[in-house]
Amino acid sequence: MLQALKWRCFRTFAGKARYQSLFEQLHAIALRGMNCGSGGRIEDSGELWVLEHLAQFYSRETPIVIFDVGANLGDYTGFLLKTFAVCQDLRIFAFEPSSLTFAELHKRLKTMQGSERVRLFNLGLGATAGKQCLHRPTDSTRSGMASLYPR
């Protein structure tokens, strides 16, 4: 009975142009419900919640080492410094391959409390050693969308 009702609803709505907008809205709601597309903001992605729980779990004396790979302008590093501020042995290794972005990151880091706990590296991390060309969008020199592949 329930299966028949599901099938009837499916046939009534599926594939009909007039319901396209409804399905697009349902799709958008489903994506937000699964937290897809908000990974760019640590406050929305769930990462901050995880970091806060990790900070509570470990004692103040526990050595903590975190790699910020693709540090960009240092927003994530800033959250790490605040979240683990009470940790006595925190070390953050921040990697940023773009020279332009790295210069800005270096400037911004100087203004962050606890910045002496951060080591900056103007390089990228990968599976193999070597040099690569880093492409960035032409519309912005400060974009976080740099890539090994031209877009």
Farthest CA pair distance, the chain: 67
**Does pLDDT of 72 surpass 80?**
yes
Is the pTM for the entire model greater than 0.85? no
CATH superfamily of 42-121: Vaccinia Virus protein VP39 (3.40.50.150)
Q: Which helix (H) or strand (E) holds 56?
A: helix 47-57
Averaged pLDDT for residues 121-147: 81
Averaged pLDDT for residues 90-99: 95
Which residues of the chain are in CATH 3.40.50.150 domains? Answer: 42-121
- Give me the residue label for tokens 């606890």: 114
